[in-house]
Amino acid sequence: MTTSAIGGCDADHRVLFGAIRQWGNQEKRGRVGVAMGRASSQRVRAATAVVTATVLLCASTPVSAIQWLALSRVTALAVTPREQVTPQACESFHGSLVRQQVRFCKDNPDFMDSVKRGAIWAIDECQFQFRTRRWNCSTLNDETIKEYKKRMKPKNTPETVMVSNKTERAVPVTSPPEALQSVKPNSASARDASPLPRTSARRRRGKKRKKSKGKRKTGVVGLYPIVPQGVVLRAGTREAAFVHAISSAGVAHAITRRCSSGELDVCGCDRSVRGVTPHGFQWSGCSDNIAYGVSLSKRFVDARDRKLVQRNKARGKKVSSRALMNLHNNEAGRKLIEENMRVECKCHGVSGSCELKTCWKAMPTFREIGEILKEKFDGATEVRLKEVTGRAELEPNKQYFKKPTEMDLVYVSSSPEYCDYDLNSGSLGTHGRKCNKTSRGLDGCDLLCCNRGYVASQERVKERCSCKFHWCCYVKCRTCIRDVTVHTCN
């Protein structure tokens, strides 16, 4: 990518930070009216936003273990700390959630927005980490998939391109053919153009159920990453392993953070979810919030696969390797958070000596978790199912490989090439993706375009430059206009 600045304009002008940091998500969600972190004034609006069952319903496709990630765009789960998710709302999630998860929702309505937040973080992080790979964690909902299938001719596949802007935060940008304006996966407008019109989001609750029944036929489901299913059965690939790990980590992270803010009074005090009395707090204090976040994430994220394993065991059937793999990877994601907590200590003995020392843990950023998981992704182990004294276990496919640890990712089937569009294997292809001409890595044009070649085109980009940040909330910037050469895969 060659760049040439053709000059700055405007003298310093005060730009509010929020406006400048336009990278994706905050903004996008803001437009749908359910911004994470949009407070007070927006809250009222968000609160009136009625449960939009329509977004979630999925009667036609079997519920995949990560379909709950669709919660990331449920408008009803706006971040409204003082607004409860009603049991009816939980019921309406049935398309995306399995029964246990719906029960979790009813039991812990306060945590559902954390689950949603975790799902959003997970998807964002996944897309960031894989922005330069052939598989870039694109999310599509079932409707868009259908439209793809209908309109798609392999020649003009809509490309799902991830480019990073100045702040390196991923902004998924798509430049689809004109015919496909309404199915821009991943893009900001994709969320706008969601099948749910904004007006219906504000419809009164009474009408909701009827509406949802009406919509049920269309079988719309929320966004969740397209994960290749593998050629044989629905066997899990590396990518599936990553998505599972990051999403379970995302939920644990979000719940822990929420509990640490003290906004919820239902967070558990000790490691188990059971909790203790005020007397227990007086006697021995409380455990870290991460312990609680992890245990709740386990309950929610593992629900489907755990049920599957239990049911198969009870019926004496063979346990599916996919379920075991999912459980392992979910656990790996959570363990990674726990293991990467920063330990901080304070000495407070006699005269502040270290005779008495107290340590606690501080959470890593989610970016760090994503980065570590990416490494784990690259070093994931291929495993197969093996019955050891009546117990199903996963063991390395190759004998000389060492057994994966609790924190390693495992997969059971190898991934496709992701070069061409093939939804059945979960591949969107790399047609139309932007590539880096000079790079010899995975984002280089040769590798990313699968040697199909690429075209170069000139683009004029407006950018902010020479910025000075002022705590908390604004930056002084100049705007630069640059001409860049963009390379696009054929």
Partner 1 sequence: MSFLSPSAPAPSSVMSMLGTKCIDKNYKNTQWYWSRGKQPCKSIGDFDSPIVEEQMISANHIIFSFQIPIPKDGYPLDYSRWQQNLIAMLHLDILYDDEDEVAPDAVMTLDARLGYSNRGDPEGQWTEYASSVEQRHLDCCIEQKKPGYMYNCSHVPLFELGSLHHDFYLLNVRLPVDMLDTSEKTGMNTKLGHINDMWVAFIHQNGGFTKVWVSLKTIFFPIIVAIMVWFWRRISQLSRPPALLEYMLMVLGAALTLLNCPLEYLTLAFDCPWMTVVSDIRQGLFYASLLSFWLIFAGEHLMDDIERNRIRVYWRHLSAVLGGCLCLFIFDMCERGVQLRNPFYSIWATEIGTNLALAFIILAGVCAGLYFCFLSYMIWKVFMNISSKRQSLPAMSSARRLHYEGIIYRFKVLMLATLLCAAMTVIGFILGQVSEGQWTWDENIKLEYTSGFFTGVYGMWNIYTFALICLYAPSHKRWPKDQNTQSSTGEEIEFSRLATEPSEMSSLTAFTKKSATD
Which residues, numbered 114-133, are part of the site for partner 1 (CB under 8 A)? 128
Q: Which of 365, 424, 457, 485 binds partner 1 (CB under 8 A)?
A: 365
**Cα–Cα distance between 36 and 25 in angstroms, integer?**
9
* Per-residue binding letters, 463-482, with partner 1 (x by CB under 8 A): ----xxxxxxxxx-------
The reply to whether 399 sits near partner 1 by the rule CB under 8 A is: no
**Cα–Cα distance between 334 and 354 in angstroms, integer?**
32
Q: Which of 285, 379, 441, 453 binds partner 1 (CB under 8 A)?
A: 285
Chain positions 151 to 180 lying near partner 1, rule: CB under 8 A, are: 167-169
- Which residue is it, tokens 């430059």? 465
Buried b (16+ CB within 10 A) or exposed e, 376-394: bbeebbbbebeeeeeebeb
Q: How many residues bind partner 1 (CB under 8 A)?
A: 79
Q: Which are the contacts of 71, defined by CB distance < 8 A and separation ≥ 6? A: 56, 77, 93, 96, 97, 112, 115, 116, 119, 222
The reply to whether 386 sits near partner 1 by the rule CB under 8 A is: no
Which residue lies nearer to partner 1 by CB, 6 or 16? 16
Which residue lies nearer to partner 1 by CB, 63 or 273? 273
The reply to whether 417 sits near partner 1 by the rule CB under 8 A is: no
The reply to whether 390 sits near partner 1 by the rule CB under 8 A is: no
The reply to whether 12 sits near partner 1 by the rule CB under 8 A is: no
- Which residue is it, tokens 């007397």? 279
Which residue lies nearer to partner 1 by CB, 136 or 430? 136
Which residue lies nearer to partner 1 by CB, 40 or 458? 40
Q: How far is the CB of 389 from partner 1 (least distance, A)?
A: 22
Q: Which of 364, 439, 442, 481 binds partner 1 (CB under 8 A)?
A: 364
Phi, psi of 386 (to 5 degrees): -140, 140
The reply to whether 13 sits near partner 1 by the rule CB under 8 A is: no
Tokens coding 440:
């010899």
Which residue lies nearer to partner 1 by CB, 351 or 438? 351
Q: Kindly compute the dihedral angle of the four CA atoms of residues 263, 268, 269, 270, in this order, to the nearest 10 degrees.
A: -150
Q: What is the DSSP string of 50-61?
A: PP-HHHH--SSS
**Cα–Cα distance between 365 and 298 in angstroms, integer?**
20
The reply to whether 198 sits near partner 1 by the rule CB under 8 A is: no
- Which residue is it, tokens 């009136």? 48
The reply to whether 232 sits near partner 1 by the rule CB under 8 A is: no
Stretch that binds partner 1, among 37-45, 87-95, 181-189, 243-251 (CB under 8 A): 37-45
Which residue lies nearer to partner 1 by CB, 339 or 387? 339
Closest CA to 76 of 47, 99, 39: 47
Which residue lies nearer to partner 1 by CB, 264 or 423? 264
- Which residue is it, tokens 């689950």? 115
The reply to whether 405 sits near partner 1 by the rule CB under 8 A is: no
